[in-house]
Amino acid sequence: MHWLLFYDYVEDILERRVPHRDAHLALAGEAHARGELLMAGALAEPTDGAVFVFTGEESGAVERFVAADPYMANGLVTAWRVRPWNVVVR
């Protein structure tokens, strides 16, 4: 099963993320190394959100990621949501 995590960012994300970006990317790297996070990235033009693709039987890894994310702890994410994703082409 795949899970999509959507983040909505604050308007000035590019400036405000600077002191937290290394820790955010390290968290993503750890989730990727465990095989939970397949890919992730910010939306562009405008940079107003991000999308993460997780894999697993349940959404627990996604929720743990959100709970540990420095972007969340420091108010850079204004809203987030998780959706199950039925992949039909790989």
Q: What confidence tens digit (pLDDT) does each residue in 50-59 have?
A: 999 999 999 9
Q: What angle do CA 81, 83, 88 make, to 5 degrees?
A: 150
Q: Tell me the average pLDDT of the chain.
A: 97
| Helix ranges, 1-90 (H) | 13-16, 21-33, 60-68, 70-73
Whether 90 shows a pLDDT value over 90: the answer reads no
Residue 90 in domain:
no
Domain tally, the chain: 1
Q: What is the mean pLDDT of residues 16-20?
A: 98
Residue 8 in domain:
yes
Task: List the CATH number of the domain containing 26.
Answer: 3.30.70.1060
Q: Which tokens belong to 62?
A: 């996604």
